[in-house]
Structure 1
Amino acid sequence: MVRINQLKTLLLLALLSGLIVAAGYLLVGNETGLYYGLAFAAFSSFGSWYYSDQAALSAFKAQPTERADAPELYARIESLCDRADLPHPKLYIVPSESPNAFATGRDPEHAAIALTQGIIDLLSADELDAVIAHELTHVRNRDTLTQAVAGTLSGALTYLGRILTIGALYFPVARGIGRKANNPLAILFLLIIGPFSAGLLRMAISRTREYAADEGAAEITGNPLALVRALQKLEEMGQKVPIHGNPAFAPLFIVNPLSKKGLMKLFLTHPPTEDRIERLEEMAKGIEPSTKASKTMSPAV
């Protein structure tokens, strides 16, 4: 199942990159646009690979937390990392009462886990373990990089569409670039079809990775039902107290951090929480819940 999810993710990323290349071709109107598209996709991917961690942390005003400030939380994370055979990530606290969490970083050696103050206060010890294990699975599977690249490529395609709009409105010379620059179908692709398709692909990537991370959390903790209880609490409280920040980083969180009211329902990047819970409950039927870890680890702070 993990390998299938990885193949799906690679395919979806390849389709996203293909949309960028197609947009470059349509924007310029000849083969040179293909090279521009490839270069733009490569540059965007590299930038997201190198700077994704700081961008996400800054967007939600996450504060670095030292061991002296949260020794019990550090001990909890390190114990789970040892079980998952992962380097210990940096810990950040997001000063928000909205209960949520996310992981970021280009690889396990440069990873960070961010927990909101709300999730630390809300969840019990085993539930917090399950959430941290979920985020550690994202780190292990390098989903943090995948989501950053997907988000950047999706944003880049939207940006190309804006370039076309601005060029057509304010720079008449740009209207004549290439034979296909004024093609109505090309304009429709760049302004509507391309960005919309990129958004759908990005949501598909996010949903695939969330299911895999839930499975990884159950594997690390041996207690799928702890994550079930955590998701139930996060879903209920998260909508009462939505987090404020750049919606481009919404796929990083364990549950959708944005309001589900009105048109926001169209842009949800997470699978339905009910589906995730159903999958975890099915897993729990074949796993004896592990209470040993919860007893030996320090309580949540």
Structure 2
Amino acid sequence: MRNQLKTLALLAALSGLLIAISYWVFGGTNGLIIGIVLAAVTNLFSWYQSDKIALAVYRAQPVSETQAPELYRIVQRLSRRANIPMPGIYIVPGETANAFATGRDPEHAAVAVTKGILNVLPEDELEGVIAHELTHIINRDTLTQAVAATVAGAISFLAQMVSYGLWFGGGSRDDNRGGNPLGILLTVLLAPLAATIIQLAISRTREFAADAGSARLTGNPRALARALQRLEATARQLPLNANPAFEPLLIINPISGQFLGKLFSSHPSTEARVAQLLKLEQELPTAVY
């Protein structure tokens, strides 16, 4: 409940930032109305189109049981155990090892894994990864992250358009039409950074919960811990060329462990996640499946 409240507060802050930027840029009541409309449209758009956008961004292709029998069997078994409809199954081309889930609810969800992860992980570790992604679906994190990505993208786009206007149009001095000059400057300089920070905070909040959900669903927290360590090592060698807006969907941060990568990581550190999983291992009863 605490994480859910924190996530709702962060989403509200993100939408509020979009409304405030519109007010600063366009000025007055019109700016406020435009901001509210933008926030409503982006949230509604992400509600209905988030799964299609994410799958298209990563060029994910649907697969059948005959094309990926082992993967299909794992997803089917865990979906039954979690008592949710079986999501669509997709494979992302490439040797990078990663995975993500998307969709607005369990009835409209998909799980996607890279070709590389199927080659890297043994079955028990792959099961831990799939359980992590199914937990995201159960917790509606896939919708939350999609809304955050869409609103953050709208903020960055608006800031970029304002920047182009300042460079090529010179801005407006008409107080009846133009926005607050200080607000416009803050929009160009700080809004994209603030949106990114809020989006990343939302993602980090949800990852620990998904790890814990995977541990409970499989009864094997150590398998996911090993998978995370293996995936991080692989990411250093073959980082995924991911769209920044959709990086939070992935199970492991696709950026190699450089300073800026850690500073703007969409995930908690792998060390912290592994430590939490090993702690859960001591707390969970021995599972019998």
Query: TM-score normalised to the size of structure 1?
Result: 0.91
- Residue of structure 2 aligned with 1:23, choices 21, 28, 49: 21
Tell me, in whole angstroms, the C-alpha distance in 1 between the residues paired with 2:178 and 2:186.
11
Q: Quote the Cα distance in structure 2 between the aligned partners of 1:245 and 1:9.
A: 23
Aligned to 2:2: 4
Alignment correspondent of 1:258: 255
Q: 2:239 aligns with which of 238, 242, 260?
A: 242
What is the correspondence of 1:91-102 to structure 2 with a 5 Å cutoff?
91-102=89-100
Amino acid in the other structure paired with 1:257: P
2:97–2:234 Cα contact (<8 Å) kept: yes
Question: Do residues 287 (structure 1) and 270 (structure 2) align?
Answer: no
Instruction: Report the CA distance shift for 1:77/1:156 in structure 2 as closer, same or farther (over 3 A).
Output: same
The 1:218/1:262 distance shift into structure 2, 3 A limit, reads closer
- Per-residue deviation at 1:187? 2.2
Q: Does 1:271 align with 2:268?
A: yes
Kindly provide the amino acid, as one letter, of the partner of residue 256 in structure 1.
N
Tell me the equivalent position of 1:297.
Answer: none
- The offset of 1:249, in angstroms, is 1.1
Q: Matches of 1:243 and 1:37 in 2, distance apart?
A: 34
CA RMSD across the alignment: 1.7
Of the structure 1 ranges 187-196 and 232-241, higher mean CA displacement relative to structure 2 is found in 187-196
Tell me the equivalent position of 1:214: 211
Distance 1:35 1:206 in 2: 29
What do residues 202-233 of structure 1 show as CA deviations (whole Å, max 9, x unaligned)?
Answer: 01000001011001101101111111111111
Q: Which amino acid aligns with 1:88?
A: M
Residue type of the alignment partner of 1:167 = G
CA distance, structure 1, for counterparts of residue 24 and residue 36 of structure 2: 13
Amino acid at match of 1:12: L
Q: Deviations over 1:10-39 (max 9, x none)?
A: 000000011011001101121221111010
CA 227–201 in structure 1, closer or farther in 2 if over 3 Å, else same: same
Q: Offset of 1:261 from its aligned partner?
A: 3.2
Q: Distance between the aligned counterparts of 1:190 and 1:289, measured in 2?
A: 53
Counterpart for residue 12 of structure 2: 14
- Give the secondary structure class of the aligned counterpart of 2:113: strand
Deviations 1:128-168 (A, max 9, x none): 11100000000011111111110111111111112222223
In structure 1, C-alpha distance between the alignment counterparts of 2:147 and 2:23, rounded to whole Å = 21
Distance in 2 between the 1:31 and 1:145 partners?
Answer: 30
AA aligned opposite 2:51 = D
Give how far 1:260 is off: 3.4
Question: Alignment partner of 2:275: what SS?
Answer: helix
The CA distance in 2 between the partners of 1:178 and 1:59, in whole Å, is 41
1:233 matched to 2:233: no
Q: Where do 5+ consecutive residues of structure 1 fail to align?
A: 294-301
Deviation (angstroms), 1:267: 2.3
Match of 1:37 in 2: 35
Structure 2: gaps of 5 or more residues = none
Distance in 1 separating the partners of 2:177 and 2:208? 41
Q: Single out whichever of 254-263 and 218-227 deviates more from structure 2.
A: 254-263
Which of 121, 130, 133 is the matching residue for 1:132? 130
Whole-Å Cα distance in 1 between the matches of residues 103 and 285 of structure 2? 33
- 1:286: how far off? 1.4
TM-score normalised by length of structure 2: 0.95
Residues 145-184 of structure 1 correspond to what in structure 2 (within 5 A)?
Answer: 145-172=143-170, 174-178=171-175, 181=178, 183-184=180-181
Deviation (angstroms), 1:170: 2.8
Deviation at 1:191, TM superposition (A): 1.0
Moved more, 252-261 or 125-134: 252-261
- Distance change in 2, residues 1:209/1:177 (3 Å): farther
Question: Which residue of the partner structure matches residue 50 of structure 1?
Answer: 48
8 A contact 1:96–1:116 mirrored in 2: yes
1:152-207: CA deviations, max 9, x gaps?
111111111122222233335x5135469464421232112222111111010000
Equivalent residue number for residue 75 of structure 2: 77
